[in-house]
Amino acid sequence: MMKILTEPIGSIPRPAYLQQAMSAFGAGQIKAEELNRLFDQATQETIKELETTGSPVISDGEQSKPSFVTYPLQGFKSFAPDGVIIPFADGHTRQLPKLTAGPFRYTTFANSYLQKAKQFSSLPIKQAVISCSAMSLLYPQEGIDGYSREQFLTDLVNDAAYDIRTCLNNGAYNVQIDFTEARLAIKLDPSKQLLSAFIDLNNQVLDKFTAEEQKRIGIHTCPGGDHDSTHSADIPYTELLPLLFKLHAGNFYLEYAAEKDKKTVLESIKANLKPNQHVFLGVTNVLDPRVETAEQISDLILEAAQIIPVQQLGTTDDCGFSPFGDDTSTAREIAFSKIRARVDGTKLAEKILSN
């Protein structure tokens, strides 16, 4: 039978009790020990539920990450709150912290989440990490006395590479780099010089790995989903894809279900996908509460298979369902139902393509 790989992106909405505990901890109402106990409980429950979807590869649902961006910064002291502001289409914003002194070091590595998840499952576990380019936005435009941008980037590249390597060395099925700022870079700089700089920076990290290791490293990009809104869906996907596939990675996880002009997107993927690269198309729209049927997902895959070689085609979700810890816009039940539909729809497409 023709095999089509299917994998999650990462985050699953946190249970209500965990949301409440995170708020209580922030207000000083509970201790870290209690919050960590609930993190473990939510992680175990999430993994168990993901296993019941039939997904051959799972994640920890990012239950204990404050957000997919800021997890490396937990406990780092040299920050001010007034960093880069990211506006979303519905009017809400997210703001990154700003580095105030060097040297910069990750204080939390993604391997810590992987090791916890491995305690709760024997299935292959995928681990997500944040891109080096997203972290580069922490350095202030005005600079830092005694700590140059060049030295910051050197330190950043080293820690970003270590973040990936420790996951690969400690049993991750593969590692996904979240590069959700790619389309946003074009929005901020239509000349694409910023995007090109981001690509170059991420390749500095990827080039620290062998060609064989790069096969187990992937890139996720989307228009930045948060609270059922996006920061860059208005940027044509076809403006990004030719540069995106210049990243030295084996796998690409692309938002697709929410795209309106799917045929043009598929043609751009085909034109730029290299023979040693695998593309995972998002077949569940995480911004839409309606749960897709297996037949609808199968139809999406069959349509894509007419343009993209099936041996290079896989399926995923458009994005994580709750990339930021306080995002409650999607119910947990809907997230799991969509994942189950993705798995079933992928199997259905496999069967049809094998006949």
Check if the beta carbon of residue 277 is closer than 8 Å to that of residue 324.
Answer: no
**Nearest to 42, CA basis, from 340, 253, 349, 332:** 332
Q: Which residues constitute the domain of residue 39?
A: 5-354
Nearest-5° Cα angle at 161, 247 to 99? 100
Burial of 27 (0-12, 13-18, 19+ CB in 10 A): exposed
User: What does the pLDDT look like over 106-132, one tens digit per residue?
Assistant: 999 999 999 999 999 999 999 999 999
Side-chain half-sphere exposure of 272, counting CA atoms within 13 A: 19
Most distant CA pair in the chain: distance in Å? 66
User: What does the pLDDT look like over 153-210, one tens digit per residue?
Assistant: 999 999 999 999 999 999 999 999 999 999 999 999 999 999 999 999 999 999 999 9
CA distance 319 to 303: 21
How much is the pTM?
0.95
Neighbours of 278 (CB within 10 A): 18
DSSP three-state, residue 65: coil
CA distances from 326 to 15, 20, 108, 116 (A): 11, 10, 20, 22
Number of H helices, E strands in the chain: 12, 11
Radius of gyration for the alpha carbons in the chain, expressed in angstroms and rounded: 19
Query: What long-range pairs does 98-102 form, CB within 8 A, spacing at least 24?
Result: 98/138, 98/140, 99/138, 99/139, 99/140, 99/144, 99/152, 100/140, 100/144, 101/144, 101/147, 102/78, 102/144, 102/146, 102/147, 102/151, 102/152, 102/155
Give the pLDDT mean for 130-150.
Answer: 96
Check if the beta carbon of residue 185 is closer than 8 Å to that of residue 195.
Answer: yes
Check if the beta carbon of residue 20 is closer than 8 Å to that of residue 329.
Answer: no
CA distance 149 to 213: 29
Q: Which tokens in the block code for residue 188?
A: 């901020």
The answer for residues whose C-beta is within 8 angstroms of residue 266's C-beta and 6 or more apart is 303, 304, 307, 308
| Of residues 172 and 2, more confidently modeled | 172
Give me the residue label for tokens 């910023």: 194
* Percent of the chain clearing pLDDT 70 (strictly above): 99
Q: What is the pLDDT at residue 202?
A: 98
What stretch of H or E contains 175? strand 174-178
DSSP three-state, residue 163: helix
Check if the beta carbon of residue 184 is closer than 8 Å to that of residue 86.
Answer: yes
The answer for residues whose C-beta is within 8 angstroms of residue 206's C-beta and 6 or more apart is 214, 217, 247, 248, 249
The pLDDT of residue 1 is above 90: no
The answer for residues whose C-beta is within 8 angstroms of residue 283's C-beta and 6 or more apart is 256, 257, 292, 297, 300, 301, 315, 316, 317, 342, 345, 346
CA distances from 68 to 54, 122, 303, 323 (A): 25, 24, 31, 6
Mean pLDDT of all residues in the chain?
A: 94
Give the pLDDT mean for 77-91.
Answer: 87
Q: What is the pLDDT at residue 91?
A: 87
User: What does the pLDDT look like over 208-262, one tens digit per residue?
Assistant: 999 999 999 999 998 887 777 788 889 999 999 999 999 999 999 999 999 999 9
Q: What is the pLDDT at residue 2?
A: 65
CATH number, position 103:
3.20.20.210
Q: Which tokens in the block code for residue 308?
A: 């993209």
User: What does the pLDDT look like over 268-301, one tens digit per residue?
Assistant: 999 999 999 999 999 999 999 999 999 999 999 9
Total tally of structural domains belonging to the chain: 1
Q: What is the pLDDT at residue 213?
A: 98
